[in-house]
Amino acid sequence: MKILVSSCLLGEDVRYDGENSAIAYNTSSSFGEKELFMDIMCEHSIYSFCPEVSGGLSTPREAAEIISSTKPFKIQTKSGENVTINFLIGAKNTLELCKEENITVALLKSKSPSCGNDGIYDGTFGHNLVPGVGITTKLLEENGIKVFNEKQIHELAKHLNPQLDKMSLANSLKGLKL
Ligand code: SF4
């Protein structure tokens, strides 16, 4: 299956601070999660993509947060530069790639104003998480693309292989005397 993956999760230094968010080195991910992630990366066709870089933003760049997540959208940097157009172009480019390649599932970085799927920062730059999704995730989900984040590797695995639960159960029952 084809999977769109945030470039920073794959170790590319495309984050706003010039760093990456490689799952392989993430101390909050368990060994099992990393192993499962590596299995998925090896068994499927991976499309690495960074919406913000695609939208014309440089790396490193100033941190940005969503001020308005409904129309008219507004995304701005900490110093007040309006970068909405870059985020919208990045989201549109991501969706275009998915449509061209028939990609229906994505693994994207949590909390990002582009890629987040389960909470975003509230626009005050005070590290306050609020319910909501990033601009790219919003567009992808509106177009039927299923988005997971790096803390949802097991859910992603189950989505890719619905038989996984039954197989795990069968394996765990092996050798048991009933
Ligand atoms: S836009 Fe997405 S892929 Fe790019 S650095 Fe941010 S979280 Fe990673």
**Cα separation of 84 and 82, whole Å?**
6
| Residues 6+ away with beta carbon under 8 Å from 93 | 51, 54, 55
Which amino acid residue places its CA nearest to atom 8 of ligand 1?
Answer: 8
- pLDDT per position as a tens digit, 40-82: 999 999 999 999 999 999 999 999 999 999 999 999 999 999 9
Q: According to the model, what pLDDT value does residue 61 have?
A: 98
Q: What ligand 1 atom has the least distance to the C-alpha of 90? A: 1
Q: How far apart are CA 73 and CA 168, in angstroms?
A: 44
For ligand 1, the distance from its centroid to the CA atom of residue 20, given in whole angstroms, is: 9
Ligand 1 pocket test, pick from 115, 121, 140 with the greatest ligand atom count within 8 Å of Cβ, gives 115
- Residue 7 pLDDT greater than 70, yes or no: yes
Distance from residue 32's CA to the centre of ligand 1 (Å): 24
- For residue 72, the CA-to-ligand 1 centroid distance in Å is 22
The residues near 28 (Cβ < 8 Å, ≥ 6 apart) are none
Mean pLDDT to the nearest integer, 136-144: 98
Ligand 1 centroid, distance to 11 Cα (angstroms): 11
> From the alpha carbon of 16, which atom of ligand 1 is closest?
5
Separation between Cα atoms, residue 74 and residue 123, nearest integer Å:
10
pLDDT at 176: 52
Select from 8, 83, 138 the residue to mutate for testing ligand 1; criterion: most ligand atoms less than 8 Å from CB. 8
The verdict on the CB of residue 6 being under 6 Å from ligand 1 is yes
Residue with tokens 């994207």: 108
Give pTM, 2 decimals: 0.92
